[in-house]
Structure 1
Amino acid sequence: MQLPVQSQSTLYAEPWEADAGPDDLAEIARTADRSGFAYIASCDHVAIPRRLAAAMSTVWYDPVATLAFLAGVTERVRLLSHVAVVGLRHPLVTAKQYATLDHLSGGRLILGVGAGHVREEFEALGIDFESRGAVLDESIEALRAALGPDEFPAHHGKSYDFEGLGQRPRPAQEHVPLWVGGSSPAAVRRAALKGDGWLPQGDPRDRLPAQIAKLGQLREEAGLAGRPFTVGAITEPLYVGEPGWNVGRRTLSGPPEALAESLRAYRAMGVDQIQIRFRSRSRTELTDQMGVFGGEVGPLL
């Protein structure tokens, strides 16, 4: 699941999150750890321009700091950047941060990357917004090298060029999974050809089969069909049980068996992992929902 509190866009934040803080994040992460969730995720924005602040808010915790903090209060759950806008930083900086996170967490990192969409953010940092797709393509290659086993990684490209520079600690994992986020044709192609997985952005159920078919076609044409690849999906908002309040018309609600039956449709269309978000009016209601889902819905999936 994507963590609440750490990003508070009006598209999904609940009112109670406005007054929440580190204690709430820690308890939610511990609940995810106990309840069998595969990963907890944190977003990435450096700064939000005034024109977008009303919709996006300016609450965007740094993902490395947030996931490192939560690594210290959890034991099992994996830590996903969903997604790191890696074009905003040199690959050696990104590698240093996330390799350290993987090392400190005992190998629990999943590095999710994306191109970014806020022009002013790039301009303020002196980075060309129009070339962000090409820069991301190269960044993935550079990160493959910088997060690999070599203490002195090497990469020679158009935007980045380095060798003979050592970085330790190395990641705890021999291979850090790198998932690519986004649902545009360019993002789907990038995920298929350069990633270990795909993180869609807002694709409803009826669009997923075509997207998954395209991923498979691209990977087969490139000779990658036999390699492991994780297809993700973001589900509709969920509420386990019968809500006594208005949870919105798109929210899936009902008993565990009904929710599981609905969610199994994702597996049938070729999805490997689902990211879920619960409707809630408080931290307690959220952690209760997570606990019930982990205990009564998860086993049915």
Structure 2
Amino acid sequence: MQLGIHLPHIGRKAGPESIRRAAIQAEQLGFDDVWVSEHIIVPQSSPYPPSPNFWDPVVTLTWAAAVTSRVRLGTSVLVLPLRHPLPLAKELATLQNLSQGRLILGAGVGWLEAEFDALGVPFQQRGRRMDEGIAMMRAVWSDDPVTFEARWIPARIDTMRSQPLPVVPIPIWIGGGSDAALRRALRQDGWHGSRVPPDKAAALVRRLRAERPEPGFTISLRVSCNAANVGGMRDTLAAYRDAGVQHVMAAPEDRGLEDYLATAEAFRRAGDRL
């Protein structure tokens, strides 16, 4: 089983030095990848997310890439319908090349309607815009010149060019637990679920493997942990492994950086004892 760790780019512990230290620690401890999340703007009264201090995910991963050489770089997840696919495709291709092919694009449709309203994106169209956005980015990443007929996203692309192309293809893992998200994941390179307990994971794995049995289709889960519960994480990881989950990413909830670093190390040790 592969293990990832979420970088401290959210809340009061976010900052250049904390992200740098965490990324370097992750590589030294043998984590397979480091991860970031996304919210662009949130209502003041919103109970979740608990902090509005979200450092930009793509820029954060670029910072992490500059101080590492091996760990992969993942998004958990980018809210694709909030972004226009053309500049995002350029940013992601650039990061893929700067990092020498280490990027994983975790993508989701989003759920916070007020965030869509603030950005002028129709909330009810988010699924269609996501599907079209993925298709547009894949076209831009593979065709030079590229022609793409868009329906839901404002774009006119007729025999145009966008470089650089990614040095290697960028895998796309779809986040979310709805039927629509699972169907969307089956059309891409992997599924990146969240808040799925081990006793529920096996059924989801069977459902996905019935259509995508090949090992190259990755089944990944995000789990929360902190200093209080990381000690019992070994049994949780073993249960996920037995259910057929290939990859688990831990998102430490500790508010202070030193506690975060200790939790990350304990989580890595739990994985080593499997």
Whether the TM-score (by the shorter chain) exceeds 0.5 is yes
Determine the C-alpha separation between the residues in 2 that align with 1:180 and 1:115. 9
Structure 1: runs of 5+ lacking an equivalent: 9-17, 240-246
Aligned pairs for 1:226-241 (under 5 A) are 226=214, 228-235=216-223, 237=225, 239=227
What is the correspondence of 1:37-76 to structure 2 with a 5 Å cutoff? 37-52=31-46, 55-76=49-70
Which fold has the larger relative contact order, with Cα–Cα distance below 8 Å and residues 6 or more apart in sequence?
A: 2
Give identity over the alignment, percent: 33
Residue pairs, 1:114-193, within 5 angstroms: 114-148=108-142, 150-160=143-153, 161-173=156-168, 175-192=169-186
How far does residue 47 in structure 1 lie from its aligned partner after superposition? 0.5
Q: Which amino acid aligns with 1:237?
A: C
Q: Could you list the per-position Cα deviations for residues 76-131 of structure 1 after superposition, in whole angstroms to 9, with x for gaps in the alignment?
A: 11111111111112211110010011111111110111001111221222211011
1:5 alignment counterpart: 8
Which amino acid is the alignment partner of residue 270 of structure 1?
Answer: G
Tell me what 1:205 maps to: 198
Partner of 1:276: 250
Query: In structure 1, what is the Cα distance between the partners aligned to 2:175 and 2:126?
Result: 14
Pick closer, same or farther for the CA change 1:238–1:53 going to 2, 3 Å: closer
The answer to whether the 8 Å contact 1:6/1:42 transfers is yes
Match of 2:86 among 92, 101, 104: 92
Structure 1 position 252, deviation (Å): 4.3
For residues 255 and 149 of structure 2, what CA distance do their matches in structure 1 show? Answer: 50
| Contact residue 23 and residue 68 of structure 2 kept, 8 A | yes
Report the alpha carbon displacement of residue 51 of structure 1 after superposing the two structures with TM: 2.7
Output the TM-score relative to the length of structure 2. 0.88
Query: Aligned equivalents of 1:172 and 1:183: distance in 2?
Result: 31
1:107 to 71, 87, 101: 101
Under a length normalisation based on structure 1, what TM-score does the superposition of the two structures give? 0.81
Deviation readout 1:151-173 (Å, 9 max, x if unpaired): 32332242245232211122121
Q: Over aligned residue pairs, what C-alpha RMSD do you find? A: 2.3
Bigger CA radius of gyration: 1
Displacement after TM superposition at 1:49 (Å): 1.4
- Correspondence for 1:214 among 204, 207, 214: 207
Q: Matched residues in 2 for 1:236 and 1:60: separation?
A: 17
The 8 Å contact of residues 237 and 276 in structure 1, kept in 2 or not, is answered as: yes
Deviation at 1:53, TM superposition (A): 5.8
> What's the CA shift for 1:7?
2.4
Residue of structure 2 in register with 1:253 after alignment = 231
1:68 and 1:299 map into 2 onto residues whose CA distance is 28
Gaps of 5+ in 2: none
Q: Give the whole-Å Cα distance in 1 for the aligned partners of 2:239 and 2:140.
A: 38
Letter in 2 for 1:253: G
Q: Superposition pairs for residues 21-36 of structure 1, below 5 Å?
A: 21-36=15-30
